[in-house]
Amino acid sequence: MTDSTTGYVLPKVWTWEQPSGGQFANINRPIAGPTHDRQLPVGKHPFQLYSLATPNGQKVGIMFEELLAKGHKGAEYDAWPIRIGDGDQFGSGFVQANPNSKIPAVVDRSGPEPIRIFESGAILLHLAEKFGEFLPKSGAARAETLSWLFWQMGSAPFLGGGFGHFFAYAPEKFEYPINRYSMEAKRQFDVLNRQLAENEFIAGADYSIADVAIWPWYGGIALGRSYEGADVFLAIHEYEHVMRWANAIDARPAVKRGRIVNKLSGDESEQLHERHDASDFELRTQDKILGLAPDQAEAVKDDAI
Ligand SMILES: N[C@@H](CCC(=O)N[C@@H](CS)C(=O)NCC(=O)O)C(=O)O
């Protein structure tokens, strides 16, 4: 079947022939599994985080920092960067931690046997249950929190993989998908706006893993940090309750720390490539590392591992 407008011939069976040309096309492939042998590093703390500070990655850095801020010393973690643009997610060690080859992945080494956890929602749930924080124990409040957590897991792919992809990353500006996903993105912002008109936080009166999951995606766009120009394009300022909430979450000290964990781009003072200690936020952001003489900078990096 040939499309009369584009001339595209729809084959009977799809085959993988060449990268599509969009940003990140070189890391996309239609098969799973490892492409190369590479073990993951393991640090000294009970939790090992393998991630990157994308919205999905930020959730977990924020969660660890919130738990530590509450005094849970058992939530100490080492955070290692996974350079998805270089294909680190297809290394054999990472695939063992996450057979889906996507960041974030966590290995919980606090018990007798290491436990792998992948999918950011599952990681937040694991940590919330383990430390008894940011998730009500039972009843309607727990159901509400889990509903919003899973809302995020189901909705954000339309925001990121749909709207964000076609607005920012696709090789051309295609009107049809931009219209389709802008409509859905705005509908989702309206869902949040209505909820936040009645509630201080996403799932009610208390800050929860629903906020931790939703803020990096929706707050990121609201605060103009994701997909340059998307906040204006989607007229996000009209969602006044989302704006109020996005700014309030952004002001939390643990969020300020957690969102820069494994951040490899942007302002150097907001890049913490590896996190092994609370002092790293003060001492080992890239501006600090690069401000040192080269031999001292190497010493700082080596010492961090
Ligand atoms: N549903 C997953 C999505 C994870 C995901 O899509 N991660 C992206 C970065 S935000 C990734 O690792 N992409 C690399 C790739 O697709 O190869 C989660 O929430 O953990």
Domains within the chain, CATH numbers bracketed: 139-257 (1.20.1050.10), 265-304 (no CATH)
Residue 139 contacts by C-beta under 8 Å, 6 or more apart in sequence?
Answer: none
89 lines ligand 1 (CB under 6 A): yes
pTM for the full model? Answer: 0.94
Residue 299: is its pLDDT beyond 60?
Answer: no
The pLDDT of residue 58 is 98
More confident position, 21 or 224: 224
The whole-number average pLDDT for the span 209-226 is 98
292: confidence class by pLDDT, cuts 50, 70, 90: low
Contact predicate 57/260, CB 8 Å: no
Pocket test for ligand 1, best of 63, 103, 215 (most atoms within 8 A of CB): 103
pLDDT in tens, 182-215: 999 999 999 999 999 999 999 999 999 999 999 9
Any atom of ligand 1 within 6 Å of the Cβ of 101: yes
Residue 305 pLDDT class (50, 70, 90 cuts): very low
Nearest ligand 1 atom, CA 119: 20
- What does the pLDDT look like over 6-34, one tens digit per residue? 899 999 999 988 666 777 777 889 999 99
Q: Give the pLDDT band (50/70/90) at residue 304.
A: very low
With 0-12 / 13-18 / 19 or more C-beta atoms within 10 angstroms meaning exposed / middle / buried, residue 154 is exposed
